[in-house]
């Protein structure tokens, strides 16, 4: 019996495992390895970090949803494709077929102070750390009276930065009411490299999002963050530097593939492996790479939303492996079908497009929640949606 080893339990890895359970029906041994024993939706980490989505709901434990797949909790350290071995912190694992779906890591681009002073949203634990730090600053403000405690800088005007900054604006008003603070003390800055936020959108949609953020009281700054400090960020624009003071910095300026790729015997760029039309590694046809660790050549793939792309890659990978286990050739190449994407501007507002049509407001917010709930339904059915779903009015208490 062939052994299929899946590294990583994100959107791509989990989708592969779930599809293989249905298509192979015990014709092969399938093992999923992850450093966490739960799956989480990375697209909701900003809500975990703001306390508007509870950590209890955010975690979906693998052993509760995987039926025939063997799950192992371990941290992957290195992959040796020549020996067909994967080295983990607690064991060494062999495979006949390997699926690399190790996810992303925040990219600091070597900028000074990011690791020391900035928060990043790469996991549930990082989101919880940010939440606790932020809530403590509101609760202790009357004792410390440091104005920088209620000033926030979000570096990066892509999806994560915009969604976090928008929901922070709403959440900060609630925290001010709870703690008896003047809401005008809160200052939120969104730093982006260009005039256009959300560069994956059209200029029209981008401007709509920008106007919505400004109405929420956010200050949008064009410039390059060149240094993070304990009490702020240095931003350069047109040869001039200024310091934006804040005791809380969120770094969301970009991501890269997992460091395991860099430490293994693969040709890679930014910890991403170039794959062929079947998502396989050249010279290693038994290895598939999906999600953030894969570097495909098609422009539509490069600029696609991560979760949507990883999920489609996972579905395709399961089909391809099923063909191979049944001694058949892979019948067709991977093709990404871009179904649209939505960026939330708070929980009840959003901008985006679906099937080529721009949408804004509550309609877009409804679609955003529908997308999140559709994934939950795919992995756990209606019961999962009821327990952990996104709705127009909801509480995380």
Active-site annotation, residues = 163
Complete edge-to-edge strand list for the sheet that includes strand 224-229? 224-229, 232-237, 240-245
Question: Tokens 């099923």 map to which residue?
Answer: 322
Q: Token pair of 380, please? A: 């756990």
Structural tokens at position 294: 């894969």
The phi and psi torsions of 5 (rounded to 5 degrees) equal -110, 125
Q: Which structure tokens are listed for 318?
A: 């399961």
Judge contact between 127 and 36, C-beta under 8 A.
no
User: Is the separation of the CB atoms in 6 and 103 below 8 Å?
Assistant: no
Q: What does the alpha-carbon distance between residue 319 and residue 358 come to, in Å, rounded to a whole number?
A: 33
SS (H, E, C) the chain: CCEEEEECCCHHHHHHHHHHHHHHCCCCEEEEEECCCEECCHHHHHHHHHCCCCHHHHCEEHHHHCCCCEEEECCEEEEECCCCEEEECCCEEECCEEEECCCEEECCCCCECHHHHCECCCCHHHHHHHHHHHHHHHHCHHHHCCHHHHEEEEECCCHHHHHHHHHHHHHHHHHHHHHCCCHHHCEEEEEECCCCCCCCCCHHHHHHHHHHHHHCCCEEEECEEEEEECCEEEEEECCEEEEEECCEEEECCCEEECHHHHCCCCCEECCEEECCCCCEECCEEEEEECHHHEECCCHHHHCCCHHHHHHHHHHHHHHHHHHHHCCCCCCCCCCCCCCEEEEECCCCCEEEEECCEEEEHHHHHHHHHHHHHHHHHHHHHHHHHHHHCCCCCCCCC
């Amino acid at each position: 019996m062939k052994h299929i080893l899946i590294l990583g339990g994100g959107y791509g890895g989990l989708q592969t495992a779930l599809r293989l359970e249905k298509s192979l029906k015990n014709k092969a041994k399938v093992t999923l390895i992850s450093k966490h024993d739960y799956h989480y939706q990375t697209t909701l980490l900003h809500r975990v970090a703001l306390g508007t989505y509870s950590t209890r709901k955010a975690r979906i434990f693998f052993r509760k949803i995987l039926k025939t797949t063997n799950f192992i909790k371990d941290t992957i350290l290195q992959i040796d494709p020549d020996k067909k071995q994967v080295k983990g912190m607690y064991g060494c694992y062999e495979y006949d077929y390997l699926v690399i779906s190790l996810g992303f890591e925040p990219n600091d681009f070597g900028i000074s102070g990011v690791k020391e002073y900035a928060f990043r949203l790469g996991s549930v634990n990082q989101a919880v750390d940010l939440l606790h730090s932020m809530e403590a600053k509101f609760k202790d403000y009357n004792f410390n009276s440091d104005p920088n405690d209620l000033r926030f800088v979000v570096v990066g005007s892509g999806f994560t930065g915009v969604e976090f900054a928008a929901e922070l604006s709403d959440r900060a008003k609630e925290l001010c009411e709870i703690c008896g603070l003047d809401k005008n003390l809160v200052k939120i800055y969104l730093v982006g490299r260009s005039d256009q936020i959300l560069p994956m959108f059209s200029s029209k949609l981008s401007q709509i999002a920008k106007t919505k953020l400004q109405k929420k009281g956010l200050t949008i700054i064009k410039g390059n963050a060149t240094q993070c400090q304990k009490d702020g960020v240095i931003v350069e624009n047109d040869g001039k530097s200024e310091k934006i003071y804040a005791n809380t910095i969120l770094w969301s300026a970009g991501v890269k593939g997992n460091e395991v790729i860099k430490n293994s015997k693969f040709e890679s760029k930014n910890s991403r492996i170039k794959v062929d039309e079947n998502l396989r590694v050249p010279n290693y046809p038994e290895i598939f790479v999906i999600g953030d660790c894969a570097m495909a050549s098609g422009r539509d793939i490069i600029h696609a939303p991560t979760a949507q792309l990883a999920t489609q890659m996972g579905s395709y990978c399961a089909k391809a492996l099923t063909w191979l286990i049944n001694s058949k050739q892979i019948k067709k190449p991977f093709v990404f079908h871009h179904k649209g994407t939505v960026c939330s501007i708070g929980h009840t507002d959003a901008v985006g497009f679906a099937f080529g049509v721009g949408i804004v407001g509550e309609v877009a917010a409804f679609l955003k929640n529908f997308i999140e709930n559709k994934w939950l339904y795919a992995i756990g059915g209606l019961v999962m949606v009821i327990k952990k779903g996104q709705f127009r009015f909801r509480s995380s208490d």
